[in-house]
Amino acid sequence: MEIPKTYDPRQAEERHYVRWEAQGCFAPEVNQDPSAPVFTISIPPPNITGSLHMGHALQHTLMDVLTRHRRMCGHRTLWLPGTDHASISTQLVVSRELKKERLTRHDLGREKFVERVWQWKAESGGQITKQMRREGASVDWSRERFTMDEGLSRAVREVFVRLYEEGSIYRGARLINWCPNDQTVLSDLEVEKTPQAGKLYYLQYPVKGSDRRVTVATTRPETMLGDTAVAVSPNDERYRDLIGTTLILPLVNREIPIIADEYVDPEFGTGAVKITPAHDPNDYEMGARHNLPQVIVIDQHARMTEEAGAEFTGLDRYAAREKVVQQFEALGLLEKVVDYEFSISKCERCKTVIEPLISTQWFCRMSEMPRLALDLMNREKKPQFYPEVPYEKVYTDWLENLRDWTISRQLWWGHQIPAWYDEAGNVYVARSEEEARSKAGTNALTQDPDVLDTWFSSALWPFSTLGWPEETADLETFYPTSVLVTGRDIIFLWVSRMVMAGLKFVGAEPFQDVIITGTVLDKHGQRMSKTKGNGVDPMDVFEKYGVDATRLTLAGASAGTDIRWNDNQVESYRNFANKIWNAARFCLLNSEGASVGRGFAGDPQDWALHDRWITSRLNRTARDVGAALDGYQFHEAVYALYHFFWDDFCDWYIELSKTDVTAVDATSQRDAARSRVITVLEQALRLLHPFMPFITEELWQRLPGIGAESLHAAYRGAKVEPTVMLTAYPEADARLIDARAEAEMQAVIELISRVRSIRSELGLKPGEQIQLFVGPANNGLTGLFDESVTAQIKRLTRAAEVSFKSEMTADVVGRASARAALGGGLEVAVPLQGLIDFAQERERLRKERGKLQDEAEKLEKQLANPKFVDRAPADKVNELRQRLTDIEQRIKALEQMLEALAE
């Protein structure tokens, strides 16, 4: 059999996914067991304009690990894929394309533009779905969904109509966040605050019929043109007498009142606040409290309106600012200007400064639905967040202080609002135009031109993708889903809204658990971003190190915390993949006469030590991995697998099996040993499969003795070729976890390591054969060293001979020996016939003794403390006593050795 010495990930990645997908291995229908438990994950739908980034790669890896694990446990698993339509982004992308043709969307008109977007989607919108295949994501493509699909759109209309009919959706004029660049309203969550170095302008407003002036401080002088009051704190002595009097607003000469409101902080600025109800959220509220008029001085393009006065009409807001300041200065009404840092709201997408405007929009009331979600958390602690701290609190805090959600957008791409107006302006909200017509009693209707916030449809994702509002079999079977894996940035935008919608419309939470992943940062700890150009493209990493290594890196990063991306880490997992490849290569090159699943017959107590040991380690690993995955501690699972495979299986088990496995004669002993290594390998491949799907499949396919009967019972009737992904995930058998075998093996390992250490420290050449004395023979441990173990010790320490001595005195082992004191009173000696440098050997032994003495001293001190002995648990005290005894024994042995070496 030709097996290359180095693993080439590429060819395995190309072969297996296609077959898995074609044979329906990812679809829940592959499961033939009607009583199987169900496991469902609904993917956070990536945006159709996007391409795969490290955040996706991380989340997809975790979802795939969970899905593949549950599938191997025989569960009926569904990981449902799809994408969302991303109104603004997509519209911007397509508009940019049009710009190249010197066209705008208005040139095309709405219908043609939307057609064009669909066309763009068909051509360029499928990038992520291709990339997910490369990742190995075991999603059921036959159930792929898109938020603008007919079915999902129907769900959107249904929800809209129901909410409208019960009064939870309303239309009205409110102060909203307006993006003058994108020409649309934005919800509070799509606005980002950034600190900004600016100025605070102190403007003086004359008091009517008096020489007095009231000074107000503002960061936006241009808004003064729309002021309709000045507010002061009711308890502020400085202004008390002015409350209720009138000011003359400079430049516009409007008379405005001085009002009192608790909101005003007398400590800040001058203690007097100009109030512009039409252009500031706080002023808007105060205006409502005091019934102030709203004077609109800025329009949707952030230019001044006619209301701002003839001189200002049409000026950009910043030009207007300058002009206002100039004129105040000219009038002697500019008291001062100071530098001032404040935070400014920008459009999350285009970074344009948001203009708060009064505008008629559709809103969704946030009163009953957040209550449903909060009640569920209080009552049943659902969904369960991982990590619970701090995300559960982040989630509930947000739900407790929600403002109504602006759901309309002035865009063309998206779900057009199912509301129609007749000529009189009456509104008819309906599931279809026909329904609206029959409600209106006329055909002369125009549909509201706006579309809904993309997140409105995303909120329905976990059930709309399963067929809701129809009562489909999928909805019945797969809802609520099991777990949601996502980033912390969309807990508000998406997670909470899904919970609200799920509770409201299906009557059950959309998922039981929520895993919040960290952010993948660059190696300097910076957020990856296009503008900084510090992003790492997962596709490049796949190409360079392989998909499996990349997945292991992502899964191996600590749960919930941010990940600094570092190629070194992937490289080490690439090396691990190569280690797996070569361990398998060894097994396969020596596989004649071997078969998976054989070799471990009979009572385990009759097996060789290393066989009992590896079986114990394997079962312990299966137990640890299972427990880690149940708690979503992926990194613990990776750690356990890595060390089991490399340290236990490769470094020791394969080495200890080599003599038997590579025997020249085809004996049953040889074949049984071969079967045992290959059986352990096969179990290890199964354990690794959810994390490293490609290499495990590639190798598993080559193992002798695998076939349809290797599959998990739930998949045996399915029409699939044997595949590791449908085998049973190894489950720990508690009876095979053998602490004694592990302790005994530990003694053998210590012996070998110490002898190697002696060899190394004394600078013996690798080929130089030595002799070993081990004893004293009355020690319980020497019973371990049967013929086979002794042979292994010889091989691994390059010893020509191992002799067991009843005593380990200098007389017996010879004065010229390098020696070591092992645990349990065991000693080992390497006689060196004059080669030994006595001074050097004494130094070595003293150093060793020094270390032990330090430790003994600490233990003695602790054990001499009556408080410790009295108050610490008895087994802890015993443990330390035992450790001390062992150390003392070793020290004693070392002292005898030193004595024997004395000049």
Residue with tokens 């059999």: 1
How many H helices and E strands in the chain? 30, 29
Among 29, 166, 301, 342, binds RNA (CB under 7 A): 342
Q: Judged by CB under 7 A, how many residues of this single chain contact RNA? A: 87
> Can the peptide bond before residue 45 be classed as cis, meaning omega within 30 degrees of 0?
no
Shortest Cβ 249–RNA spacing (Å)? 14
Instruction: Give the footprint of RNA on residues 405-434 (CB under 7 A).
Output: none
Chain positions 872 to 901 lying near RNA, rule: CB under 7 A, are 872-873, 876, 880, 883
Give the pair of three-digit tokens for residue 694.
């490609």
Q: 286 with 231: CB under 8 angstroms?
A: yes
Cβ 186 to RNA, closest distance in Å?
13
CB 231 within 8 A of CB 264: yes
What six digits make up the tokens of 542? 């796949």
Q: Residue 202 Cβ, how far from RNA at the closest point, in Å?
A: 10
- The full 3-state SS of 29-69, as one line of letters, equals HHCCCCCCCEEEEECCCCECCCCCCHHHHHHHHHHHHHHHH
Nearest to 676 by CA among 596, 582, 788: 596
Using alpha carbons, select from 531, 496, 494 the residue that is nearest to residue 396.
496
Q: Least Å distance between CB 605 and RNA?
A: 27
Token match 């700890």: residue? Answer: 525
Q: How long a stretch of residues is the chain?
A: 903
Q: Which of residues 430-489 bind RNA (CB under 7 A)?
A: 488-489
Among all chains, which residue has been given the structure tokens 């009205």?
172
Which residue in this structure is represented by tokens 């004694």? 740
- Residue from 358, 372, 374, 394 that binds RNA (CB under 7 A)? 394
**Closer residue to RNA (CB): 109 or 390:** 390
Which helix or strand (DSSP H or E) is residue 343 part of? strand 334-347
Binding to RNA, residues 662-701 (CB under 7 A): 662
CB of 6: closest distance to RNA in angstroms? 4
**Of 429 and 587, which has the nearer Cβ to RNA?**
587
- Of the residues 658, 702, 716, 805, which one makes contact with RNA according to CB under 7 A: 658
Residue closer to RNA, measured from CB, 34 or 533: 533
Contact indicator for 271, 236 with CB cutoff of 8 Å: yes
* Cα atoms in the Cβ-side hemisphere of radius 13 Å centred on 698: 23
Name 515's Cβ contacts closer than 8 Å, sequence gap at least 6.
62, 386, 483, 484, 485, 486, 559, 632
Tokens 């051509």 found at: 123
Interacting residues of 193 by C-beta distance below 8 A, sequence separation 6+: 343, 344, 345, 346
For 801, how many CA atoms within 13 A lie in the half-sphere containing its CB? 6
Q: How far is the CB of 515 from RNA (least distance, A)?
A: 15
Under the binding rule (CB under 7 A), the answer on residue 812 touching RNA is no
Question: What gap in Å lies between CA 633 and CA 655, rounded to an integer?
Answer: 31
Of residues 262 through 281, those in contact with RNA by CB under 7 A are 263-271, 273-274, 280-281
Q: Which of 141, 170, 600, 646 binds RNA (CB under 7 A)?
A: 646
Quick one: 218 or 779, whose CB is closer to RNA? 218
Q: Is 578 in the site for RNA (CB under 7 A)?
A: yes
Distance in Å, CB of 671 to RNA, minimum? 16
Least distance CB 870 / RNA (angstroms): 7
Q: Which is nearer to RNA, 393 or 892 (CB)?
A: 393
Q: Which stretch binds RNA (CB under 7 A): 293-301, 475-483, 632-640, 677-685?
A: 632-640
Does residue 756 bind RNA (CB under 7 A)? Answer: yes
Q: Is the peptide bond before 383 cis (omega within 30 degrees of 0)?
A: yes
Q: Which residues are bridge partners to 446 per DSSP?
A: 421
Residue showing tokens 């054990």: 863
DSSP state of 316: B
Stretch that binds RNA, among 27-35, 84-92, 449-457, 759-767 (CB under 7 A): 759-767
Nearer to RNA, 80 or 273 (CB): 273
Give the one residue of 253, 531, 568, 605 binding RNA; rule: CB under 7 A.
Answer: 568
655 near RNA, judged by CB under 7 A: yes
Q: Does position 349 bind RNA by CB under 7 A?
A: no
First to last CA, the chain: 60
Contact residue for RNA among 582, 595, 803, 896 (CB under 7 A):
582
How would you class 439 by CB atoms within 10 Å of its CB: exposed for 0-12, middle for 13-18, buried for 19 or more? middle
Candidate list 63, 399, 466, 583; residue touching RNA; CB under 7 A: 583
Of 191-250, binders to RNA (CB under 7 A) are 193, 200, 216-220
Sites for RNA among residues 588-607 (CB under 7 A):
589
Q: Which is nearer to RNA, 63 or 286 (CB)?
A: 286
Least separation in angstroms between residue 566's CB and RNA is 5
- Report d(CA 143, CA 155) in Å as an integer: 16
Please report, as residue ranges, which positions from 501 to 530 form the binding site for RNA (by CB under 7 A). Answer: 523, 525, 527
Q: What are φ and ψ of residue 316, in 5° steps?
A: -65, 150
**Cis peptide, bond prior to residue 776, ω within 30 of zero:** yes
Q: Is residue 746 within the footprint of RNA (CB under 7 A)?
A: no
**Does 347 interact with RNA (rule: CB under 7 A)?**
no
Closest approach of RNA to the CB of residue 877, in Å = 8
| Count of CB atoms situated within 10 Å of the CB of 509 | 21
Query: Which is closer to RNA, CB of 516 or CB of 737?
Result: 516
- Residues numbered 836 to 865 that lie near RNA (CB under 7 A) are 855, 862, 865
Tell me, residue by residue from 46 to 65, as one string, x for binding to RNA by CB under 7 A and - for no binding. Answer: --------------------
Select the residue interacting with RNA from 378, 443, 561, 669 (CB under 7 A).
Answer: 561
Task: Rank residues 650 and 812 by Cβ distance to RNA and give the closer one.
Answer: 650
Q: Which is nearer to RNA, 260 or 810 (CB)?
A: 260
Residue whose CB is less far from RNA, 125 or 825: 825
Helices in 563-654 by DSSP H: which ranges?
Answer: 567-589, 609-630, 634-643
Q: Which of 304, 429, 555, 577 binds RNA (CB under 7 A)?
A: 577
- The DSSP symbol for 743 reads H
Binding test (CB under 7 A) with RNA, winner from 650, 732, 736, 777: 650
